[in-house]
Chain A
Amino acid sequence: MAANKGPLHQFEISSIYDIKFKGLDLSFTNSSLSMVLAIIIASIIFHIGSRKNGELPNKLQVLVEMSYEFIANMVRDNVGKGGKIFFPFIFSLFLFILFGNVLGMVPYNFTYTSHIIVTFALAGFIFIAVTIIGLVKHGINFLKFFVPSGVPISLLPILIPIEIISYFVRPISLSLRLFANMMAGHTMLKVFASFIVLLGILGGWAPLLLVIILTGFEIMIAVLQAYVFTILCCLYLNDALNLHH
């Protein structure tokens, strides 16, 4: 019954198909299922949308072209020189997070971005990749990144540790931001939805109205957070590719 399940029950992972490999638990879970679903749906939409169809573009094609243009502009404006080769990665990253967030709003579907391990894996990969790109491109000069320009030398012993810690904070804040937004939003929705049941037909209308507003708000947050994650990824790439402050 739904009544004895708390607001955090929606984040529980359950195995669908058990796979054990050398003592590792590689089971196909509901999280994996929703990831696969998101990728399949995104692929289908983009396959149909990018097909040649007639003289006038239909709605799907416009949607596909708009999202392409949106990310292409983002990469051009924020990554700048030498950012073009990263476009496929950033575009897939954006779609993966966007579909995870938006499909998570569908009832009974699992929101994989509400798990910190998923977002941390994405952010950690980006962090390591950006560091390697910076080191390969600039060599030892990349360490100049930690020395802020235009600062008196006497302040440097304080500022360099701050810059270094603030660099290592990046993957944590990047992953925590997406995770916290998604988890907080979904928990809030569930809590207010349970108020409807508790207050019954007499008093349940007020939380129902609130839940409707919150659902719209949550969809907006879902899109916004996908955007924030990708734009921060672009900014970090820009830092690594074009060293300046």
Chain B
Amino acid sequence: MDKKEKFKYKLHQAIENRKIKKEKKIPHSKIGIDYSIAINITIELITGMALGFFLGIMLDNYLQTKPLMLIIFIILGIIVGFYNMYKTLKRYGYFN
């Protein structure tokens, strides 16, 4: 009796494990989606930095504070870039 129950328990576990494995199977389109995510987050980072850079230069020209605004806005732009990367990845279901 004990053996039978043990067997049943093991069988049940094996079936469950197989189910989990099947769910975890990577679909074929995964490569394309990963590629797309990689490009998306790269562009997120670059645009944040670029916008910071241009805003800094524009404000410097306007306020005549040559390097100050550039430095501040580049740092802000880098933070924004990483922040947007984080938001993009969150939208794809990471960090959950």
Q: Are A172 and B39 in contact (CB under 8 A)?
A: no
Interface residues on A, range: 10 to 19
Min distance, Cβ A12 to any Cβ of chain B, angstroms: 24
Given A165-B51, A169-B48, A169-B51: A177 and B43 interface contact (C-beta under 8 Å)? yes
A221 at the A/B interface (Cβ < 8 Å)?
yes
Can you spell out 26 A-B residue pairs with CB atoms less than 8 angstroms apart?
A: A161-B76, A162-B76, A162-B79, A165-B51, A165-B77, A165-B80, A166-B48, A166-B84, A166-B87, A168-B51, A169-B44, A169-B47, A169-B80, A172-B50, A173-B44, A173-B84, A176-B43, A176-B46, A176-B47, A180-B43, A181-B39, A221-B36, A224-B32, A224-B33, A224-B36, A225-B36
Q: Does B55 contact A (CB under 8 A)?
A: yes
Chain B residues with CB under 8 A of A221: 32, 35-36
Tell me the smallest distance from the CB of A185 to a CB of chain B, in Å: 10
Q: Which residues of A contact B80 (CB under 8 A)?
A: 162, 165-166, 169
Contact residue among A162, A165, A168, A228 (Cβ-Cβ distance under 8 Å from B40): A228
Q: Looking at chain B, what size class is its interface with the partner chain?
A: 20 to 34
Q: Does A220 contact B (CB under 8 A)?
A: yes
Contact surface of A with B, Cβ cutoff 8 Å: 161-162, 165-166, 168-169, 172-173, 176-177, 180-181, 217, 220-221, 224-225, 228, 235
A169 touches B40 (CB 8 A): no
* Distance of A228 Cα from B80 Cα, bound (Å): 21
A176: chain B residues within 8 A (beta carbon): 43, 46-47
**In the complex, which residues of chain A have a beta carbon less than 8 angstroms from the beta carbon of B47?**
169, 172-173, 176
Rounded to whole Å, the gap between the CB of B30 and the closest CB of chain A is 12
Min CB gap B66→A, angstroms: 21
In the assembled complex, the Cα of A181 lies from the Cα of B33 at a distance in Å of 13
Contact with A along B21-58 (1 / 0, CB 8 A): 00000000100110110011001101110111001000
| B contact residues around A217 at 8 Å (CB) | 32
**Neighbour of B55 across the interface among A162, A165, A180, CB < 8 A:** A165
A225→B46 CA distance, assembly (Å): 18
Question: Beyond the given A165-B76, A173-B43, A180-B43, could you list 16 further A-B residue pairs with CB under 8 A, ordered by the A residue number?
Answer: A165-B51, A165-B52, A165-B55, A166-B80, A166-B83, A169-B44, A169-B48, A172-B47, A172-B51, A173-B44, A173-B47, A176-B43, A177-B40, A221-B35, A221-B36, A224-B32
